[in-house]
Chain A
Amino acid sequence: MARPAIPIQLRNEPENNLPPDQSAAVADVLHRLKGVPGALLPILHGVQEALGYVPPDAVHLIALALNISRAEVHGVISFYHHFRSKPVARHVLYLCRAEACQSMGAVALEAHAKKILGIDFHESTADGAITLEPVYCLGNCACSPAVMLDQELHGRMTVEKFDSLIQATRQTA
């Protein structure tokens, strides 16, 4: 006697939990870039540029578009220091921790920055103005110590210059 066939349960695609605007931004990036060779990094850059971070809910959309597993996408996001899974403050301040900057007082500057901002690396100030990130060389080694605010480089940083930079940054949107 033949056994009754057991219907195969097709696992539902995970729901798209992204807010509509984020979802549209991700869809736009995928549409533009999913065909390029080695597309994942360009796509992640595109998403992070549009949204400021790569929302965990975007992972399955990216995986689906590239026909790879979510684990692979997550693995790439977590491998690279540049990609973030959490939203950031309005501005990101990168503090160079590398040797050339160390030789010109970067360690003291780092301590000062953390104290003034009241946060550690990878954290954001309570007012949502600044996220602090370490960076390992900005290529400004002849003008150490260096910091980069969003995409703007600042050299020969002193405590005084740092404080006025922070003050000016807090006042901008």
Chain B
Amino acid sequence: MSNTSTHIRVYVPRDASALSLGAEQTANAIAAEAIRLGADIQIVRNGARGLFWLEPMVEVETPEGRVAYGPVQASDIANLFAADFLHGGKHDLRLGLTEEIPYLKRQQRLTFARVGITDPVSVEDYVAHGGFRGLAAALKTSSADIVKQVTDSGLRGRGGAAFPAGIKWKTVFSAPAEQKYIVCNADEGDSGTYADRMIMEGDPLVLIEGMIIAGIAVGATQGYIYLRSEYPHAFRALNEAILAAKNAGYLGTGICGSEHDFELEVRLGAGAYICGEETSLLESLEGIRGQVRFKPPLPALKGLFGKPTVVNNVITLASVPIILDRGADFYRDFGMGRSRGTLPFQLAGNLKHAGLVECAFGLTLREILYDFGGGSATGKPIRAVQVGGPLGAYMPESQFDTPLDYEALAAVGAMLGHGGIVAFDDSVDMAQQARYAMEFCAIESCGKCTPCRIGSIRGVEVIDRIIAAQEHAKNVALLRDLCDTLLAGSLCALGGMVPFPVTSALNHFAEDFEPRALRAAS
């Protein structure tokens, strides 16, 4: 961008959520009105800031900083121009300086540092905002040192299993092989999660940079991003960014003039939740049915096409550049206990201020739900919160003071997973939610393990009998027994963890499972 340019920069997100609320129409209306009035503007399609109740959020660059307006519909545009919003003019939708919005100001954005700020597919913009500094640092040091820094940072897999990333990398690094792979798990199937999508649409280059660094660290020359087919916007943004990175010499042979090569390709999933499980994902990448593999052998030793493979989640890989740039200590200084760094919490469902909150581990659920989330969207009391996706436990109000870190949640029989937080108000029927968990498992089971394939169907039937008030005590006991079988008899987390939402609903919301007559009487 030349300094002599006089046009005013206006930002309208291209993020799928913003588009789902009319951002495209808003952008078109701004462009049309600017032409009509002869205003010299440049519209930048940025990622979303993650304040979704304010989307479509339009920002204007002023000498004081970026000023936000929102939510802006196409019908507001004429009015905004009349109020001189191009110079930060007063208007009912004016939110002030974006950086000063409390929801944003109180966050610690490390992985999401650029999301919403830059043009996601502009290498120039990316570099101007600190991009590729992690790669530059990686190219100056040894592979072993990169692995050590990632290990020392305390970074754990952000996909849900929270396995230390450095240990995984070290295993692949130490495995001798002609060909190794970096696979990014972008099969973000958990309801209530959208952080991966926001990164891929809002700052795809940080993911690309993280994957290149991973490739250099372990000696892999080919990367795949396995993206769920439900994310067409992310697919487009990733491919645009890969092309831009390639044209700028960051992908291909001799990255930045070094001796390292790295190729990257996006592969689409096909609507199978199970393919978020790393071994199913590898099967799917190989072009076959996404059925879970036995471990061992670990994918780190025998992964894609039988070769040593790093499989990491989007956020894990996107957190690597800042670790290399700022150092392991910088990252590790955030967080608590064994949960180091930050986590992008995703506030979802029935919340007034649903959105992305990247903070150090250790915030309590209550702070997230009320200080950030603003309570329920419907104004009714929040009765249950499901943390960690469809296989996460339902937490009652009595557990809202639990700090959000991996260990603290595990201690109360819940799990943090990918950081999705779905709130329900008091109209929720927890017996129905438990039934849905089993139904979901039945639909999405890969079929390999009998307890998951058949047990989930039986689970739906047993819960139906409980709801119909048939032999209550006997069926509740049977359901718990079935959950035990699933827990102990499944290879992967789908069958192994579907008992969490079911038993947590039973334990904390037993009244919803009681016969209706009894409930009415109490």
Give me the interface of A with B, judged by CB distance under 8 Å: 37-42, 44-45, 72, 75-76, 79-83, 94, 98-104, 135-144, 146, 148, 151-156
Contact = CB atoms under 8 A, between A and B. Distances in A.
Given A37-B305, A81-B271, A100-B422, A142 B290 contact: no
A80 B270 contact: yes
A153 B270 contact: no
Contact of A99 (B271, B354, B386): B386
What bracket does the count of chain B residues touching chain A fall in?
Answer: 35 or more
A76 B191 CA distance: 25
Contacts of B377: 104
B173 to A, nearest CB: 23
A153 B17 contact: yes
Nearest to A138: B230
Contacts of A153: 16-17, 19-20, 233
Contacts of A42: 267-268, 287
Interface of B: 16-17, 19-21, 50, 52-53, 55, 188-194, 196-197, 229-233, 267-273, 284-290, 305, 346-351, 354-356, 377, 386, 390, 420, 422-425, 428, 433, 436, 440, 443-444, 446
16 contacts: A37-B286, A80-B272, A81-B271, A82-B229, A98-B440, A99-B422, A100-B348, A101-B349, A102-B424, A135-B271, A136-B444, A137-B188, A139-B193, A141-B420, A153-B17, A154-B20
A103 B192 CA distance: 10
Contacts of B190: 137
| Chain A to chain B: the 3 pairs with minimum beta-carbon distance, closest first | A98-B191, A40-B287, A141-B348
A139 B230 contact: yes
B346 A141 contact: yes
Given A103-B349, A142-B354, A79 B193 contact: no
Given A45-B268, A139-B188, A155 B349 contact: no
A85 B266 CA distance: 25
Contact of B270 (A45, A137, A144, A148): A45
A41 B266 CA distance: 12
A41 B191 contact: no
Given A76-B287, A155-B17, 9 more contacts: A45-B268, A80-B290, A82-B229, A102-B433, A104-B377, A137-B188, A139-B17, A142-B347, A142-B354
Contacts of B20: 140, 143, 146, 153-156
Contacts of B351: 142
A99 B191 contact: yes
Nearest to A94: B230
Contacts of A142: 17, 50, 52-53, 194, 346-348, 351, 354-356
Contacts of A76: 287-289
B191 A101 contact: yes
A41 B270 contact: yes
B421 to A, nearest CB: 9
Given A153-B16, A155-B17, A82 B348 contact: no
A135 B289 contact: no
Contact of B194 (A99, A135, A141, A156): A141
A82 B349 contact: no
A164 to B, nearest CB: 13
A59 B270 CA distance: 17
B270 A83 contact: yes
A69 to B, nearest CB: 12
A155 B230 contact: no
B270 A103 contact: no
B197 to A, nearest CB: 4
Nearest to A72: B288
Given A137-B190, A142-B346, A144-B349, A103 B425 contact: yes
Contacts of B197: 139
A135 B271 CA distance: 8
A152 B22 CA distance: 11
Nearest to A144: B349
Contacts of A139: 16-17, 188, 193-194, 196-197, 230-231
Given A38-B285, A45-B270, A136-B444, A141 B192 contact: yes
B436 A102 contact: yes
Contact of B16 (A81, A102, A135, A140): A140
B268 A41 contact: yes
A138 to B, nearest CB: 6
A84 B232 CA distance: 18
Contact of A141 (B21, B53, B349): B349
B52 A136 contact: no
A75 B283 CA distance: 13
B24 to A, nearest CB: 9
Contacts of A75: 289
